[in-house]
Amino acid sequence: MCAGQSEIKRNGVGAFSVDLGGKKLIIVIELSRLLIKSLSLNSVIRDINKELLEQFDIAPYDILITPTRSIPRTSSGKIMRHSCSDMYLAGTFKIARSKLGMFREESLFVLNSERLKLSNQESIKSYLVSSLFSGEVSNIQDNLSLLHLGMDSLKSLEFVNRINNDLQINLQVNSLLLNSTIGDVINLIETLLWLKQQNDADKEIIL
């Protein structure tokens, strides 16, 4: 039984899908404000994610923890899944904690810690997969091409902008060819982080 599971009532859990270039499963859990303050929400999310994976072979794209009465329902109490999807895409859910938010923070914490020394490739891969591709590290092979992950010219620009913003480096779009692999991107980022360490902070580095 996961942390706080006994406190999660049947009508306090909802499941819906969103279209993000394919259907993605979202789990939303309502908890009282008291429980949100007292429980380790990261542990709740990890335990629920693990339980769904082990018992049903399901890995939700995201798991949201929200205050009570955040899930839209009909007058008869049924979950309005279409409204949930719209709220998720619009970013209007009142989220106390989320799976994606947790993964991004943990990945960036690792990378921020590594900036003062040589960043290892596993931490970079963890950041790329969990933050940009929202997947499990073990499921992504280094020789997998970005094209197979749905990367196109528009997504390449968004991809590079996100990396540069998060890591404060200057990766160029033209260096990220569509036939590049995850391993290629990891090597590029590792090189830029290393050069950033070796040079003065004010010196622009372009690769």
pLDDT per position as a tens digit, 122-161: 778 877 777 666 655 556 778 888 777 777 777 788 888 8
Q: Residue 46 above 60 pLDDT?
A: yes
Q: Residue 33 above 50 pLDDT?
A: yes
> Model-level pTM?
0.52
Q: Residue 166 above 50 pLDDT?
A: yes
| Residue 112 per-residue DSSP state | H
153-167 vs 182-198: helix axis angle to the nearest 10?
30
Q: Residue 109 above 70 pLDDT?
A: no
Q: Give start-end residues of each CATH 3.30.300.30 domain in the chain.
A: 5-95
CATH topology of domain 5-95: GMP Synthetase; Chain A, domain 3 (3.30.300)
Identify the residue with better confidence: 182 or 202: 182
Q: Give start-end residues of each CATH 1.10.1200.10 domain in the chain.
A: 102-198
The pLDDT score that the predictor gives to residue 65 is 92
* 62-76, 87-101, 136-150, 182-196: range with lowest mean pLDDT: 136-150
Task: Write down the CATH number for the domain with range 102-198.
Answer: 1.10.1200.10
Q: Residue 205 above 60 pLDDT?
A: no
Q: Residue 9 above 60 pLDDT?
A: no
63, β-bridge pairs: 27
